Amino acid sequence: MAFEGLQLPMLPLHGASPAWHARVETAQLPQVCRAVRDQGGRLTALWGADNRDQAGGFSLHLILANGDGALWLTCRLDARNPAYPDLSQWFSSADRQQRAIHDLLGIQVEHSTAFVDRRPWLSHGAWSGSEFPLRRDASLENTSPPGTDNYAFVPVEGEGVHEIPVGPVHAGIIEPGHFRFSVVGEKVLRLEERLGYTHKGIAKRFSALTLKEGARLAGRISGDSTVAYAWAYAMAVEAMTGTTPPPRALWLRALYLERERIANHLGDLGALGNDGGLAFGLAQFMRLKEDVLRLNARVAGHRYLMDAIVPGGVMRDIDRAALDQLAAQCDALEPEVRTLREIYDDHAGLQDRFMTCGILTAATARRLGVVGFAARASGEAMDARRSPGLAPYDLLDVRVSTARSGDVAGRVAVRFGEVFESLRLIRAIVERIAPGRECMELPVPPAGAPGLGWIEGWRGEIFVALEAGENGRIRQAHAHDPSWQNWPALEHAVIGNIVPDFPVINKSFNLSYSGQDL
Amino acid sequence: MYQLLKQVFDVGIRTEPPPPPEESLRVLTQRLENEILRLFNGALAIRQVDAGSCNGCELEIHALNNPYYNLEGLGIKFVASPRHADMLLVTGPVARNMEVALKRTWEATPDPKLVVALGECGCDGGMFGESYASRGRVANVIPVDVAVPGCPPTPAAIMQGILTAISAKPAATHD
């Protein structure tokens, strides 16, 4: 069993992936975090909740994960003075999430002799600093027009150092965020990211919805990962109702998830070519991506497969003829992508831009808790489809693509590898898909029931944690995007590179803004 | 190089015809004089602003420049600065954290300017509505000429919205 030696009373959670729930005291957190970290585990999601209406004070929630499963910890905090130890001492990815928790709930990191970053993260001055929007008694009437909030960027000093501020409105068609570069000449000494611009109150919105309605919102947390979020959400609802969806639904979900992975990798491979000066790559890959999207629309009714996955199964079944079309598209795509990979590999100018550019070392990736293909390109062979595994992937023997270089070229190589593997998986799914129902009715879960969903999306692992309310409503919901862990990695990967290489490095990670701003 | 050229030759031209303008997408009646529209002659510079979207609309805007839709082939291109733009293409419910940035971008765009709001969120706030964190639809923050529904709207629908914004006033309302 995973998380051995913690000596916590752990309750197994029903669901598709191995997961446990445990209640801990704040005093136990240091020992538990240290032990999990020392065994190679990682912190993924970290969030807070207000339970004062149920005489429960505040609570802090952590999800710790390793190759064996996930451990969801709930820590009760005092109603008057909610505080907890700084978790970034053990898990560096805690830092920004702690700041977000403070902005939303007013829950503080305890006083510490070590440095604790207490700058706001999601709050940009659009609501009053004494109002905490996720508190159940927040009035939020005084939402004054936001001004400029004079965020304190870390200054870099020295001869010839200057700053380049970029964003939030970027020069391309990209989500908004602010990048502050400190440079000497063209060389980047430091990049500091400031995000939170697309914060649109998703957690609060969830708590006004029924479990059924929530599926639509989950599919709109990050548009490029709509399948992964919808599946993670559905998995959490199924877990809290103690149900397992029909096998056919699971096969179709995996089919959709792999198509989402292919579409995103194809688009990014094209954009990477373009950023490296090869516009040909953009035109070719975007054409292939469009072919994938059009077939999605024909087969499942939506180009990005939004709302195709619902709690209990999938929205609609796919007939044999459509399945054959999907397999035929794999056969058509594979030789085209192989040709394009050869062209990329043989293109000296492009390789010169990709190789040794934006290196994320294995040690930094591990220290920051980086996940997804970015981790795999730095030598970490982690993939939740493989370990701890998830139906129906346990029947498919997923082959994990990795690279060791950690540079843009490594991330490009892993993305190519994953496109080919997803094509193989889709063919295998089309061959093996079980007949039967595609969806089932779910019972209403008891109030307070927890549910956890864990899906390896194209960018990395996505978690959705839910707590049921009365009569099939949502009491609390938290969605976790892998970008939380991976954004800080981008700050490291650009150090020492030149400013003009930033777009290609940034695109090689292609992190989500909306998914982490919530 | 041989393989690259062979690929270009083998794939050929895939561009499809653009959709016609659609008057029902208009929020405001055409404010531009026909003379100005004649000078535009279909050519247009667009500054895209994500004011809080989930990134779904951005994926479809990117698709506009793929070989099937080839928006740039019509003389319509995306520019890096609002000061170079004739039109703002705005997505998302307007996140309160983006309100100032959106207004400043609008102010920096020279007159005469057009605004096209995209998607369910841009049209009416969508799933996110109005809250402590969201101002809802784009028209709550800046004036909108054309609004294109859909979640996300397809590339053809976005193209139709853009073309509607630069099409002449319909004959019936023309004085």
Judged on CB neighbours under 10 Å (0-12, 13-18, 19+), A60 is buried
Examine the domain organization and report whether A173 and A207 are in the same domain: no
pLDDT recorded at residue A248: 96
Percentage of chain B beyond pLDDT 70 is 96
A224 and A348 inside one domain:
yes
Q: If contacts are CB pairs under 8 Å, which of residues 476-505 in chain A contact chain B?
A: none
Domain contains A118: no
Cα-based distances in Å from A457 to A28, A216, A372, B78, B106: 32, 17, 8, 30, 36
Residues 92-121 of B with CB under 8 A from A: 92-93, 95-102, 105
Interface of A with B in 286-315 (CB under 8 A): 286-287, 289-290, 293, 303-304, 306
Asked if residue A238 belongs to a domain, the reply is: yes
B5, part of any domain: no
Q: What letter does residue B130 receive in the DSSP assignment?
A: B
Q: What CATH number is given to the structural domain containing A244?
A: 1.10.645.10
Question: Pick from A109, A138, A172: which residue ends a domain?
Answer: A109
User: pLDDT digits over A469-481, tens only?
Assistant: 999 999 999 999 9
Using the predicted structure, report yes or no on whether residue B36 has a pLDDT greater than 70.
yes
Domain shared by A339 and A190, yes or no:
no
Asked which of A109, A131, A151 is the last residue of a domain, the reply is: A109
pLDDT in tens, B89-138: 999 999 999 999 999 999 999 998 999 999 999 999 999 999 999 999 99
Q: At A199, which amino acid appears? A: H
Q: Do the domain assignments include residue B175?
A: no
Backbone φ, ψ for residue A78 (5° rounding):
-60, 140
Range of the domain at A405: 202-511
Domain end marker among A173, A194, A215: A194
Total domains present in chain A: 3
Of B66, B82, B134, the CB nearest to A290: B66
Output A362 or B22, whichever has higher pLDDT: A362
Is the same domain home to A172 and A260?
no
Q: Using a CB-CB distance cutoff of 8 angstroms, which residues of chain A are in contact with residue B55?
A: 175, 222-224, 512-514
% of chain B with per-residue pLDDT over 90:
73
Q: Measured between CA atoms, how close is A417 to chain B, in angstroms?
A: 21
* Side-by-side strand order, sheet with A474-480: A450-456, A461-468, A474-480
Q: What is the per-residue pLDDT across A63-120, written as a single tens digit (0 to 9) for each?
A: 999 988 999 999 999 999 999 999 999 999 999 999 999 999 999 999 888 889 999 9
**More confident site: A146 or A444:** A444
Number of domains in chain B: 1
- ipTM confidence: 0.94
Asked if residue A230 and residue A187 are part of one domain, the reply reads: no
Q: Are residues A181 and A214 in the same domain?
A: no
Asked if pLDDT for residue A190 goes beyond 90, the answer is: yes
> Residue B50 belongs to what domain range?
16-169
Using a CB-CB cut-off of 8 Å, the residues of chain B touching A287 are: 11, 14, 66-68
CATH of the domain at A67: 3.30.460.80
Asked whether the predicted pLDDT for residue B66 surpasses 90, the reply is yes
CATH code at B102? Answer: 3.40.50.12280
Report the range out of A170-174, A275-279, B1-5 with the highest average pLDDT.
A275-279
Among A46, A47, A51, smallest CA distance to A136 is for A51
Instruction: Report pLDDT digits (tens) over A238-258.
Output: 999 999 999 999 999 999 999
Question: Token match 């290489």: residue?
Answer: A501
Q: Does B74 touch chain A (CB under 8 A)?
A: no
What span, in angstroms and rounded, lies between the C-alpha atoms of A414 and A418?
Answer: 6
Closest approach of B110 to chain A, Cα-based (Å): 17
State pLDDT tens for residues A308-334. Answer: 999 999 999 999 999 999 999 999 999
Q: How far apart are CA A151 and CA A208, in angstroms?
A: 32
| Chain segment A487-503, per-residue pLDDT in tens | 999 999 999 999 999 99
